[in-house]
Amino acid sequence: MSFLHPAFLWALTALAIPVLIHLFQLRRFKKIDFPNVRFLAEVSQQTRARKKVQHWLVLLARCLAIICLVLAFAQPYIAGAGGAVKAGQRAVSLFIDDSFSMDGRNAQGRLLDQARKGAQDAVMAYSATDRFQVLTGQFGGREQVLLGRDEALDAAAVAEVGPYSRALSKVLLRQREALATSDSKTKRAILFTDLQRSITDVENWTNDTLVPTVIVPLTASAPDNLSIDSVWFNSPVRRAGQDEVLHVRIHNHGEQELVNVPLRLDVDGRQRAVASFSVPGNAAIDTTLKFLGDGPGDHWGVVSVQDQPVVFDDKFHIAYQVSDRLRVLLVSGNDTDGDRAVTAVFAGDSTHTFTTQPYRALDLSAVKDQDLVVLNALPDVPGGLTRALTDFVAAGGSIAVFPPSNGDPSRYTELFAGLGAAAPTRMDTATVKVDRIDLQEPFYRAIFQTMPRNVELPVVRERWNIRPAVGSDVLLRLQDGSPYLARSARGEGSAYFIASPLAESAGNLTRHSLFATSLLRMAELSRPMGALYHIIGDEARIPLDGVEIPADEPPHLRGPSGIDLVPEVRRTPGRTDLLLHDQDLPDGPYFVTTGADTVLSVALNLARRESDLQAYTADELKTLLTDRGLTSFSVVESDGNDLSLRLNELDQGRKLWKWFILFALLFLAAEVFLIRNTR
């Protein structure tokens, strides 16, 4: 047992007062004559002995009453896990885990409601003069300020689930930073959390004896949850009236198998497809939703399931653009046969806008407005055109390079280098066939389901030795193993290198169906359609491909519930992006506007880190703390009724002054009883 105010023990010297009164009684006895005391002698002796005992008991009761009163004022206590109690003002940091997993439930109700009540009970367990930090996963600037009791109670009451999922090591660091600003001798950190395994990184925790930390685990009854993790289209390009196939990945985080769960797709606010699926416990499946594509323009949709009680991951928002026409530019080097073949592919197709320009009279400013640029038989590539093409590819465009017949490969060195490929070498005139079509490559896989072994493939009689960059996709190879058609990704775009010219003397590619198929596929994959969605909580980069943003008029991002914010605009050579820095935004469709015009629609979704509700138990956490020697941490399990008492005992020990007051009253009552019975 220890004392909060041991100086009061000097008051025990007051014990001398009842002792002195007892020893030096000032009462004088009156003598009464009695004729015969023979019969009273035995009674007198017995009464005097009894009174002597009663006087000693009265003295003992008085002394014990004084001792209990003095000890009560010295405030005795039995030290708790926090060690010796220090007098004075206290600083307490309270973390309320407000991540989406706190929507889980147990026998006492929703976990977040329990965390808020626990935080308020903890505040009330301390003095009105103590200071408090109320911290949530939002890590707001105001949450680093120490508050008074009433302000702390209000801050705890308004905590609500949000998209932030913080590792507990970062929470502890944030708490210690706030408590370091206080001059209080006594400091404590308390965490109300569900101990989700994804955030409970005990391996990164460190001891801090100046800030003892209490973990209050709040465990859900069952970690069952169904989440939509991602979606993607079967093909990379959306076309008006095209049959669309949307793939959906769904994860069952619970143990029980789910059968015939309905899945729904809404596009532009209208239901467009429904399906059902079954998924085993602790497994993920991919399913599809099929619908007919809409007209040209921007569209937004949402894929949804019904699942309780954690619902933040039951919807997945998408935004996409349906193209009307693809813009194709042929830069001609006076190869009549080749130009005619390219023109025949695109000119009669209503889904393409096709133009031709001679390379000597090319308007370089027109390059950036295209989707696909085809270079056919250019004798050389001027420096200005090289720079325009490399910038065009970096910004997301695509180019296809057909070499000239009997041309000089060295004149393409600068262009190939700008696109990340090695310079082409030697002209080979040996006749060779295209070996096969690799159906493992997505480029051709979406076109050809199967390929007969005896299919007739193009014959090549003249070719360059092309050497694409490391990591490029070789779409077609010749029988000698050399690349014939290769695709290199550069920036946001693609460059296609073809080894043989289109001239009749160089081969029969233009008369083969593979020629038109490959060109149309290049055009289809030319401009990236952009991401279907972005994730809230991390820094999201939203590219503005083909969107002009005035320098003097910042764009606005408008979303659900009237949200209107001005994001950061980052401009780099060839591209413009909007940046969202860890902002607390609701999921849903958003629209980028400049002035009164809507220039782009985007979809923002919540991160799925919280979908897996697996959590540590209190016993597992205690074992981890013991194994790692984290002695400044303690785990308090509570059903919510005695939480404030247990937290108070941890910080201030078990206070005994009330018991000593009670004993003092009992001893005073005993004294009164003894005195009355001595008369």
pLDDT of amino acid 26: 47
pLDDT of amino acid 679: 55
Per-residue pLDDT tens over the stretch 509-546: 888 888 888 898 888 888 666 788 988 866 567 877 66
To the question of domain 226-317 being in CATH 2.60.40.10, the answer is: yes
Q: What is the mean pLDDT of the chain?
A: 84
Q: Which of 40, 72, 77, 35 is nearest to 652 (CA)?
A: 77
Domains 90-221+614-652 and 326-524 are alike in CATH topology: yes
pLDDT(193) > 90: yes
The side-by-side arrangement of strands in the sheet containing 459-460 is 352-358, 326-332, 372-376, 398-402, 493-498, 483-490, 473-478, 432-437, 459-460
Average pLDDT over residues 331-359: 88
d(CA 259, CA 280): 8
Which of 119-123, 497-501, 657-661 is predicted least confidently? 657-661
For the chain, percent of residues with pLDDT exceeding 70: 86
Per-residue pLDDT tens over the stretch 308-335: 888 889 999 999 988 778 899 999 988 8
Average pLDDT over residues 37-61: 65
- Where residue 588 falls (left for φ over 0; alpha for ψ -120 to 50; beta otherwise) is left
d(CA 139, CA 537): 12
* CATH architecture assigned to 90-221+614-652: 3-Layer(aba) Sandwich (3.40)
What single letter denotes the amino acid at residue 477? R
Q: Which residue has the higher pLDDT, 620 or 436?
A: 620
Average pLDDT over residues 111-131: 90
The model's pTM is 0.68
Per-residue pLDDT tens over the stretch 303-315: 999 988 888 899 9
pLDDT(258) > 50: yes
Is the separation of the CB atoms in 484 and 500 below 8 Å? Answer: yes
pLDDT(270) > 90: yes
pLDDT(154) > 70: yes
pLDDT of amino acid 77: 63
pLDDT of amino acid 229: 93
Average pLDDT over residues 112-137: 91
317-320 long-range contacts, Cβ below 8 Å, gap at least 24? Answer: 317/533, 317/587, 317/588, 317/589, 317/603, 317/604, 317/605, 318/231, 318/246, 318/532, 318/533, 318/603, 319/532, 319/533, 319/589, 319/590, 319/601, 319/602, 319/603, 320/233, 320/238, 320/529, 320/530, 320/532
Domain segments of the chain as ranges: 2-79+657-678, 90-221+614-652, 226-317, 326-524, 534-606
pLDDT(237) > 80: no
Q: Which residue has the higher pLDDT, 648 or 354?
A: 354
d(CA 63, CA 172): 50
Average pLDDT over residues 216-243: 85
Is the separation of the CB atoms in 100 and 606 below 8 Å? Answer: yes
Distinct helix (H) and strand (E) counts, the chain? 13, 36
pLDDT of amino acid 331: 93
pLDDT of amino acid 543: 78
For the chain, percent of residues with pLDDT exceeding 90: 34
The CATH number assigned to the domain with range 534-606 reads: 2.60.40
To the question of domain 326-524 being in CATH 3.40.50.2300, the answer is: no
pLDDT of amino acid 590: 92
Q: Which of 225, 231, 219 is nearest to 281 (CA)?
A: 225
pLDDT of amino acid 538: 60
pLDDT(16) > 50: yes
Q: Which of 585, 503, 570 is nearest to 164 (CA)?
A: 585
Q: Which residue has the higher pLDDT, 666 or 648?
A: 666
